[in-house]
Structure 1
């Protein structure tokens, strides 16, 4: 989870209004300069080992080794070679790329992203990282859009019950995770889900729902403790135990 609104809120909370205003003015200034002088407004940054063409030109920090650290660690620890992965919430394409790398050339990833702007970024990221041949990026909202990076545009809407069969499902969907868990019909080997307490999808509710579905949580990562954002990895108990 790394939306512009969340970042702005965190800057305001940690550093105050003046720092938020300063950073915001730098962002706007860089956009104006790029437009006036016809300079490319984006450059390639490295987000937890994944190349993403996203950074504003005047931002000096283009390497982010801890980007989505908890979520990415869970994907790296869970996905196995040859598996089919469904990612709900493509974002900048980092989780999609990491999943595709872990699944290898014999694996497959389907990534759903509801934001019109970010679906293009996800597709571009898969090309930059040379894994586009085994990734399908869909401009679609699964369940309801609680919070998107930008306008949905022509995004289609997919019911959780229509999600395809897969081995691992990754949810970074900004508050939609509870509804998806309650209504999906597939039973993947593993579920990786980011909880959002401030969007009424807190950890205890997610754990309860996973238990009802016969999943056992085997790992837990902390993304943002203050906001109640944790990442849970759960495995399906196929023997019913």
Structure 2
């Protein structure tokens, strides 16, 4: 029996009642999650597919972005999720900077755009597009554009939170004429239906970074892990050797 079945059933049964709930806050960013009171009292194994208040959400990835984003920076993010990293990066770069996020999943694009509205963010946009391989989108990609890595590489900072697509993205970066000055790369194993489809391989990621001309300057490990704590997760902060 799939251990996630109780969580899936709970999410489906409570979905009609969530418009009566409240917005959640993830790492200080408001999102349209619509939590209800039962989320607070039931075990995590049952509520894990429901977004509740979570101060540490994407903490290490956002921390990595804060290391390389500054006022006025042009930032590109591959992978948008709930829009938390987009809002956080937009705050870091300020009104003179801009953040463009590429997200392949239809549901995540809608959620991310709503998050921008809830947080009154004017200096960011979320584009419905796949960059690199669509290894593990969290919802249907629908009519998402397919954008080559070369089209998104010309920025001060590139953040990659692409659930397995980081390998193809980094390979493509090696051939771009004007690579981003700084990278933040999140890496962990990827699972589909509980099965590992992309293995955790730090050495391979670092090798691809070096081939593309980058040096890892900082490394963070998310203590919570990925895939609900089943797998290790690292965030690599990198600088191009031409900087």
TM-score category of the 2 structures, normalised to the smaller one: 0.7 to 0.9
Deviations 1:145-166 (A, max 9, x none): 0001100111011111222510
Distance, in Å, in 2 between the alignment partners of 1:90 and 1:24 is 23
Indicate the residue corresponding to 1:25 in structure 2.
9
For residues 213 and 5 of structure 2, the distance between their equivalents in structure 1, rounded to whole angstroms, comes to 47
**CA apart distance, 1:56:** 4.1
Report Cα offsets for 1:151-195 as digits up to 9, x if no partner: 011101111122251000000001111111111324112100011
Q: Does 1:227 align with 2:240?
A: no
Aligned to 2:98: 108
- Say whether residues 1:82 and 2:86 are aligned partners: no
Q: Match of 2:205?
A: 206
How far has the Cα of 1:24 moved from its partner?
Answer: 3.2
SS across alignment from 1:136: strand
- Residue ranges of structure 2 left out of the alignment (5+ in a row): 41-50, 191-197
- After superposition, give the CA deviation of every residue in 1:60-81 in whole Å (9 maximum; x if it has no partner): 3832011112111111222111
Q: 1:143 to 1:154 in 2, by over 3 A?
A: same
8 Å Cα contact 1:192-1:234 kept in structure 2? yes
Matched residue of 1:109: which SS? Answer: strand
Q: Compare 199-208 and 46-55 and name the one that shifted more.
A: 199-208
Contact 1:113 1:119 in 2 (8 A): yes
Q: Residue 188 of structure 2 aligns with which residue? A: 196
What number of residue pairs does the alignment pair up?
216
SS at match of 1:64: coil
CA contact (8 A) 1:167 1:190 kept: yes
State the Cα RMSD in Å. Answer: 2.0
SS at match of 1:238: coil
Q: Distance in 2 between matches of 1:159 and 1:41?
A: 41
Give yes or no for contact 2:153–2:179 (8 Å, CA) kept in 1.
Answer: no
Could you state the TM-score of these two structures normalised by the residue count of structure 1? Answer: 0.82
> Shift of residue 21 of structure 1?
4.2
Aligned counterpart for 2:170 among listed residues 171, 181, 190? 181
Name whichever of 213-222 and 52-61 sits farther off: 52-61
Report the Cα offset of residue 201 of structure 1.
5.8
For 1:92, the equivalent position in structure 2 comes to: 82
Structure 1 segments of 4 or more deviating over 2 A?
20-26, 55-62
Q: Displacement of 1:112 after TM fit?
A: 0.4
